[in-house]
Amino acid sequence: MLSFLRFFGRLTLWLWRGLMGAGQLLLSLAMMTIVALVGAGYLSNHPSAPKPKTTLVLDLSGHVVEQAAPRTGDLLSASLLHQNDAGDIELRDIRDTLEAATKDPSIDRLLLKTDGMQVSGLAILREVAWSIDRFKASGKPVIAWADHYDQRQYYLASHANQIYLDPMGQVLFQGFGHYRNYYRDALDHLGITVNFIRVGTYKSFGEPYVANGPSPASQEADELLYHSLWSDFTHDIEAARHQPAGTIDEQIDTLPQTMLAVHGNTAQLALNQHWADRLMTPQQLTDLLKKDGHADSDGKDFRQISLDEYASRLPNPKGHDIIAVIVASGEIHDGEAPAGAIGGVTTASLIHDARDNPDVKAVVLRVDSPGGSAHASELIRRELALTQNSGKPVIISMGNLAASGGYWLSLSADEVIADPDTVTGSIGVFALVPTADGLMNKTGIHTGGVTTTWLSDADNLLRPLDPRLTQILQSNVGHLYQDFVQRTATSRHLSPNAVDAVAQGRVWTGRQALDDHLIDKLGNFHDALEQARQRAHLDSQAAILYVDPNPSPWQRWLNLLDQSTGTRLSLWFKFPVTSMPFFQQTLPPMVQDLSPLITPLITGQTSYTPLTHCLCRVLP
């Protein structure tokens, strides 16, 4: 019996050691696999220098953004839905790549491909076009080719030396503007009341919930805005293509007749109207680019390098004279936020760190935001003011949007520079509080109880909003509006009455904002950097350093992997799917519209936070 027990004990020990050894082996193999994948991804992103007569391929499939958001959730979501998610392309990569390629003797031409490009706002389009023009001015040709061009894609293509179009393609101009959905009757039918508390005649964010159509003030502001933007947009394209002013509007008006004349052949129509220089299939394009020694090593394709490949070769900024660039892109929220969004605490901390860095001599804040939390906006502005007081120049560079809370950020700066078509202003404040007491009555649900004060249950959204709370909110919103106006007046050296006259929640283009003294000058990001250099007394060799929120350790790993590897790892570790941004972006537009009402009603909570937000949408 004793010998049997000893044998059983040894057997158990062997089995345990075997299991532990197998577990360690599997863990080691998994870690080696991950390291190998990371290494392969790293090496694939660091190619050798391009050979002479290489074509730089600027493929803009995806969203062109000021700052890319973390990709983990989107990659997983796209994989689960079997969709091709092209991802984000950072504007800085386009600018830096084209600037470097302009001086690189190995790069002798640029191929611009815009199929699948998604971008909102004219400021980003103009920034990319400016970089293309600088490349072209160096004497290197730019060729654009696409299956189809929508009006945004064609804006960039118009800056090429030659525009090629697939024989089955088209060039489509539509114009600006859109129709909003208005939910007043539907919400009344459901028994949901929306309390829209605002200061500013033109503050139209809440109108879709309290009206069945746009107010006259909203209609007036939108009409002026859209027509101004459309005028600039068409003028730029017509000038780039040497077309008479008004050509695009005239061709839109006569489109039914001109389509009949070409028997519905949209590509031929583009050729006839001089929007395309030549119709060309992808193979014909490849054959063209293979000429003059441009064939690759096997002769089957042309010698080329992609935007990602070239950008990965660019050196990191170095030096003791640094201009720090901080991107404020997205809606403004309280607390912390990752890259691609604005958290009051996060962005304020980035500015604080730049101010405390002795190598940083100036700060450029690149703003692309419709606004959001007034408190978070003020946190960021305070840090900018402290940076100014420390002796370091602060320059605001406005992108697509710098409206409402996005404009608030500009109120502590040595210079405010906007694109002519930046949507800015919207100086106004509002609060939006939905209540579902009517819905409860319809379903036969009632509430009752005892509280020590009338405020104890004031946040119960299943009861009507107490008039006393409405009064408090209106008072708070009014105070914030006066504060906004006064801060603007102080910053812009205007009287409060002069600011109030152009405030009231109304949006303006950058060009109009200059006329109203809300900004200092028109220009692009390059102009903002030059202004920072001059004010900090730096030479042209000063380094440009982007200061971004630090990603989590897990995100750092995934950023080194390609899309498929990142997706597989995400699946292995079972990320929560329903909370991911991709799913939120793919919700039907009506659900997105109603999300400010649905969320508090479902959770039963509202913060009663006054917002400085602009319901801005420019391009279709």
Encode pLDDT of 302-330 as tens digits. Answer: 999 999 999 999 988 877 899 999 999 99
Q: What does the angle CA 533 – CA 536 – CA 537 come to, to the nearest 5 degrees?
A: 80
> Would 201 be classed as within a structural domain?
no
**65 inside domain:** yes
* pLDDT average, residue stretch 177-185: 88
Does 587 reside within a domain?
no
Helix, strand, coil percentages, rounded to 5, for the chain = 45, 15, 35
One-letter amino acid at 323 equals: I
C-alpha to C-alpha distance for 75 and 85, rounded to whole angstroms = 7
In a domain, 130, yes or no: yes
pLDDT at position 340 is: 87
Report if residue 528 sits inside a domain.
Answer: no
563 pLDDT more than 50: no
Amino acid at 376: A
Q: How many CB atoms lie within 10 A of CB 170?
A: 19
SS3 316: coil
CATH code, 98? 3.90.226.10
Residue of 347, 397, 356 lying closest to 377 (CA atoms): 347
Instruction: Provide mean pLDDT across the span 353-366.
Output: 97
Half-sphere exposure of 187 (CA within 13 A, CB side): 24
Output the CA angle 151-155-158, nearest 5 degrees.
125
Question: Which pTM was predicted?
Answer: 0.84
Catalytically active residues, by annotation: 203, 404
Cβ–Cβ under 8 Å, residues 72 and 322? no
Confidence at residue 38, expressed as pLDDT on a 0 to 100 scale: 47
**Within-domain flag for 187:** no
Quote the percentage of the chain above a pLDDT of 90: 59
**Number of domains comprising the chain:** 1
Average pLDDT over residues 180-198: 89
388 lies in a domain? no
Q: Which residue has the tokens 């404009």?
A: 407
Q: How far apart are CA 78 and CA 86, in angstroms?
A: 10
Provide CB contacts within 8 A for 3, sequence distance 6+: none
Residue 326: the pLDDT is 98
> Per-residue pLDDT for 29 more than 70?
no
Assess if residue 270 is contained within a domain. Answer: yes
Residues in the chain: 620
Residue range 80-89: mean pLDDT, rounded: 58
Neighbouring CB atoms inside 10 A of 603's CB total 9
Beta bridge partners of 149: 171
Which residues does residue 142 pair with via DSSP β-bridges, in sequence order? 110
In angstroms, the Cα distances linking 245 to 133, 290, 323, 402 are 21, 37, 40, 29
Domain enclosing residue 253, as ranges: 54-177+233-312
**Average pLDDT along the chain:** 84
Both structure tokens of 198: 């605002």
Question: Helix, strand or coil for residue 463?
Answer: coil
Q: 75 versus 509: which is more confidently predicted?
A: 509
Q: For the ranges 218-222, 397-401, 612-616, which has the lowest average pLDDT?
A: 612-616
Residues 65, 88: contact at Cβ < 8 Å?
Answer: yes
Please compute the mean of the pLDDT values over residues 441-454 and round it to a whole number.
87
How many other CB atoms are found less than 10 A from the CB of residue 437? 19
